[in-house]
């Protein structure tokens, strides 16, 4: 009878319920281990669970007077007032694989930045080079960590993805969510839902945050340090983070206010290198010492001269977040979000080279070991910058358990002030340089959605669960570059170039989830998108080049068929087409730097993806197993490469004819695994991503695509000694991958390469009282040295103290 009732629950509730009855009937439903699963589903549980309880009760009464072999279940009481947060439940009709991490799970991990909550997700990795990295991107399945426009990140329906470009410099705006407000994070794999645009080709990340039910206040302090040793660097790098929040619910009005301050100094991110010279030094070369030698990613003997480029980055970030909600009626709610994020960075460089008097040498012709080298003037050029970012969001939605609901969400992301400064040379002082101003860049979105939720019948069937919607977004870029006599804080002296442009997308979509038989469900839908690029122009001194407008429109059909083989086993087959349209920067932004031409490409075609997935989900052994086979065939993949078929070669964003990614994922998420108190997340994935056609670079055909590891594996085990203490041991593994489209980087585990790696993490959490918490943790426990071109951090220690009231 329990299994019959269980089929009526949404999938997220079934995962939490299976195994619960056999193990924990004597415990309250809102115990710490299961609180997250039920919190995530309780809005959907009420209409689904009440008929199930009634049915179970009626059955118990009918057998009470006769002989029955079925045991009577003890009553379970759920008190919604005890639930201090109401995150958005994941749509149970999503036609895709979904992985979830809850607050109760990641509170026992080393989490400093918002993106850290994704660190153990199946077949997903975060390119985070240090705490506070401004360029943290996600990579998932056949999407590399340089394809930022192939992932979507939302926080309570507000878009955080920076779709102004498609590279390392356009990461999601994670800092618009502070870690303590997160209730749960859901990752939707692939573009199988009509509710999301083609940028979901890789994955969609849904962050659900909490709102208080009564007065609360928190304060959190973290400190972290790493020791880093490589080439001529051997020192500690330290940082800290402080955050506080206050919130309350007064009648129909609730609010949550949070602030955060982070300061950190990174390990060296980039080194100045020159190919080892075989030319004997001339008499005019300055003899120097201090250089290091190694074989680079292509096994070429290379001299390391010092720290350059992004150097050792010191960053300071301040965050302010205000959320307000007002319940006009029990089913009509309005919300307002104001986010502010200010960041500054200063990338210091240093030369390892010393002349005979011990003075650092930053340029010129030098002699190293009797051989001659010429150091470019900009080899050690430092940089600094700052930006000020604002997020405004409003929402209005209804919350009926069944029947029709409506939702409207509007957002505006404003980069109000953005300045990046770079010196022309590495010589000490305040010499000439360049200034890039990005004020006025940003995006705005509007989403209107209507849904219909049917009532489940006694036979387990439902009418059609419908979703209709309209989407609008507008991205606008305005970058201006100037020369200056004082690179640190001087005024602009002369104009060098500028790039401007806009894109706009409007979309209509419809989706239907139809349980046409008790164990069969069909989810099908279509999305129509109309995209245009306009206002694109490049300006040079005395010349402005305007680009023609572009327009594309496409239909993206989707379909998913699922079958509940048993109450514990579900099979699903999904297929979907998606179009990922070019971003403003891919279309309009370029540069000419000496002999290197980096053109914009206003004639780019959208990426055309056909995704397929077969999935089995099995609730067993106190948890849920998932096994997925997937394949993505992407035509016109947009990627920055060099066209080797023209002279001179041209480097820019181009369409690669076809890239195919196929693989398999296995994952398990369970609680009380093998023993009471042991929670486990585990996954292993294999992905083979290859270039099938590429007319502009024929040498890449048949090669593995850029930065897609063949294997990924993650494991996170948390043992709860009791309600006060927990220990987490975790591991992350990433296999062989390539940093070039032609796979010529045959020596990956060095600076300039992209490593395979195996990293272990640990954290011990202790709660001395109900309102206090301390934590001690370490990432990269065995101090592995691994690279994503830049070196990743060394062994990093964390200490944390938190107070609540």
Would you state the pLDDT for residue 81?
29
CATH 2.40.170.20, applies to 272-312+349-804: yes
Gyration radius (Cα) of the chain, Å: 28
How many Cβ atoms sit within 10 Å of the Cβ of residue 283? Answer: 5
Provide the percentage of residues in the chain whose pLDDT is more than 90.
78
Sheet holding 98-102, edge to edge: 98-102, 182-189, 203-209, 151-155, 158-159
Helices first, then strands: H and E counts in the chain:
6, 40
Rounded to whole angstroms, the Cα distance separating 394 from 480 reads 31
Q: State both tokens at 43.
A: 């809005």
What pLDDT was estimated at residue 459?
61
CA-based nearest residue to 425, from 529, 351, 493: 351
Sorted by sequence, the CB contacts under 8 Å of residue 15 that are 6+ apart come out as 37, 619, 623, 624, 669
Domain with CATH 2.40.170.20 in the chain: 272-312+349-804
Separation CA 239–CA 244 (nearest Å) = 18
Are the beta carbons of 630 and 611 closer than 8 angstroms?
yes
* pLDDT tens digits, 735-751: 999 999 999 999 999 99
Nearest-5° Cα angle at 179, 177 to 180: 110
Q: Specify whether the CB–CB gap between 527 and 549 falls below 8 A.
A: no
Distance in angstroms (rounded) separating the CA atoms of residues 187 and 138 = 11
Q: Are 264 and 132 in contact (CB under 8 A)?
A: yes
> Cβ distance 586 to 166 under 8 Å?
yes
8 Å CB contact between 382 and 431:
no
- What number of other Cβ atoms are within 10 A of residue 767's Cβ? 17
> Residue 644 corresponds to which tokens in the numbers above?
């080797």
Return averaged pLDDT per consecutive 10 residues of the chain, 805 residues in all: 34 37 30 34 34 33 34 31 39 89 96 96 96 95 96 96 93 93 96 96 96 96 97 94 97 97 97 95 94 96 91 96 97 97 94 94 94 93 95 96 96 94 87 92 97 77 88 95 94 92 97 93 97 92 89 97 96 98 87 46 92 97 96 97 87 94 97 95 98 96 97 98 97 96 95 96 97 97 96 97 95
pTM assigned to the model: 0.87
The confidence score (pLDDT) of residue 767 equals 96
517 Cβ neighbours under 8 A, 6+ residues apart = 461
Give SS3 for 330.
coil
Euclidean distance between CA atoms 353 and 365, whole angstroms: 12
CA neighbours within 13 Å on the CB side: how many for 448?
Answer: 5
Q: Is the dihedral of CA 738, 739, 740, 743 positive or negative?
A: negative
| CA-to-CA separations, 131 to 229, 318, 720, 765, in angstroms, rounded | 18, 14, 27, 20
Bridge partners (DSSP) listed for residue 475: 443, 503
In this structure, what token pair is assigned to residue 466? Answer: 């419908």
Looking at the DSSP bridge assignments, the partners of residue 262 are 241, 317
């Amino acid at each position: 009878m329990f299994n019959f009732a269980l089929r009526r629950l949404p999938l997220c509730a079934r995962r939490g319920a299976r195994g619960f009855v056999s193990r924990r009937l004597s415990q309250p439903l809102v115990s710490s281990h299961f609180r997250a699963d039920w919190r995530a589903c309780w809005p959907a549980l009420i209409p689904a669970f009440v008929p199930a309880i009634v049915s179970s009760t009626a059955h118990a009464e009918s057998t009470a007077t006769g002989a029955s072999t079925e045991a009577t279940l003890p009553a379970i009481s759920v008190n919604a007032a005890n639930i201090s947060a109401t995150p958005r439940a994941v749509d149970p009709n999503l036609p895709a694989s979904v992985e979830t991490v809850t607050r109760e799970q990641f509170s026992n991990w080393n989490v400093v930045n918002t993106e850290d909550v994704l660190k153990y997700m199946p077949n997903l990795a975060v390119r985070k080079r240090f705490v506070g990295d401004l360029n943290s991107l996600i990579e998932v399945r056949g999407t590399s960590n340089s394809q930022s426009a192939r992932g979507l990140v939302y926080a309570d329906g507000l878009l955080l993805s920076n779709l102004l470009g498609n590279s390392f410099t356009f990461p999601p705006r994670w800092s618009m969510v502070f870690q303590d407000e997160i209730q749960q994070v859901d990752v939707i794999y692939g573009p199988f839902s009509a509710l999301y645009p083609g940028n979901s080709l890789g994955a969609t990340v849904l962050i659900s945050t909490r709102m208080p039910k009564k007065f609360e206040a928190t304060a959190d302090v973290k400190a972290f340090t790493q020791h880093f040793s490589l080439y001529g660097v051997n020192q500690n790098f330290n940082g800290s983070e402080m955050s506080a929040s206050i919130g309350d619910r007064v009648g129909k009005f609730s609010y949550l206010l949070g602030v955060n301050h982070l300061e950190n100094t990174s390990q060296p991110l980039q080194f100045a290198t020159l190919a080892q010279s075989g030319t004997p030094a001339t008499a005019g070369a300055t003899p120097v010492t201090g250089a290091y030698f190694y074989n680079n990613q292509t096994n070429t003997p290379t001299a390391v001269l010092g720290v350059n480029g992004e150097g050792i980055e010191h960053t300071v970030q301040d965050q302010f977040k205000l959320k307000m909600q007002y319940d006009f009626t029990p089913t009509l709610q309005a919300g307002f979000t104001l986010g502010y994020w200010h960041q500054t960075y200063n990338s210091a460089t240093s030369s390892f080279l010393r002349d005979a008097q011990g003075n650092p040498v930053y340029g010129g012709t030098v002699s190293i070991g009797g051989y001659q080298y010429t150091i470019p003037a900009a080899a050690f050029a430092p940089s600094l910058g700052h930006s000020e970012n604002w997020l405004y969001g409003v929402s209005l939605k209804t919350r009926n358990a069944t029947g029709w609901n409506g939702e409207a969400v509007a957002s505006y992301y404003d980069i109000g002030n953005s300045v990046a400064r770079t010196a022309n040379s590495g010589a000490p002082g305040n010499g000439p340089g360049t200034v890039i101003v990005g004020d006025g860049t940003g995006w705005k979105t509007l989403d209107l959605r209507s849904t219909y939720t049917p009532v489940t019948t006694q036979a387990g069937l439902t009418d059609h669960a419908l979703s209709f919607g309209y989407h609008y977004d507008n991205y606008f870029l305005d970058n201006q570059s100037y020369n200056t006599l004082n690179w640190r804080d001087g005024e602009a002296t002369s104009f060098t170039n500028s790039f401007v442009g806009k894109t706009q997308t409007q979309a209509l979509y419809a989706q239907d989830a139809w349980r046409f038989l008790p164990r069969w469900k069909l989810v099908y839908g279509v999305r129509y998108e109309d995209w245009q690029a306009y206002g694109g122009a490049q300006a040079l001194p005395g010349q402005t080049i305007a680009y023609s407008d572009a327009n594309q429109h496409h239909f993206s059909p989707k379909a998913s068929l699922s079958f509940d083989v048993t109450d514990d086993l579900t099979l699903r087959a999904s297929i979907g087409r998606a179009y990922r349209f070019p971003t403003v920067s891919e279309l309009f932004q370029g540069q000419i730097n000496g002999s290197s031409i980096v053109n914009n490409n206003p004639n780019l075609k959208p990426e055309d993806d056909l995704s397929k997935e077969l999935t089995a989900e099995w609730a067993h052994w106190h948890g849920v197993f998932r096994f997925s086979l997937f394949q993505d065939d992407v035509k016109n993949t947009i990627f920055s490469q060099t066209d080797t078929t023209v002279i001179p070669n041209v480097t820019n964003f181009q369409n690669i004819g076809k890239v195919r990614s196929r693989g398999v994922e296995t994952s398990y998420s369970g609680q009380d695994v093998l023993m009471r108190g042991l929670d486990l997340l585990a996954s292993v994935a294999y992905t083979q991503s290859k270039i099938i056609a590429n007319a502009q670079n024929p040498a890449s055909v048949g090669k593995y695509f850029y930065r897609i590891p063949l294997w990924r594996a993650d494991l996170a085990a948390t043992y709860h000694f009791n309600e006060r203490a927990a220990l987490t041991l975790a591991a992350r593994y990433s296999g062989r991958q390539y940093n070039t489209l032609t796979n010529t980087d045959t020596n990956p585990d060095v600076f300039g390469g992209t490593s395979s790696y195996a990293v272990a993490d640990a954290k011990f959490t202790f709660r001395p009282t109900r309102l206090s918490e301390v934590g001690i943790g370490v990432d990269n426990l065995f101090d592995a040295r691994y690279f994503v071109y830049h070196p990743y951090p060394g062994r990093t220690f964390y200490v944390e103290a938190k107070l609540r009231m």
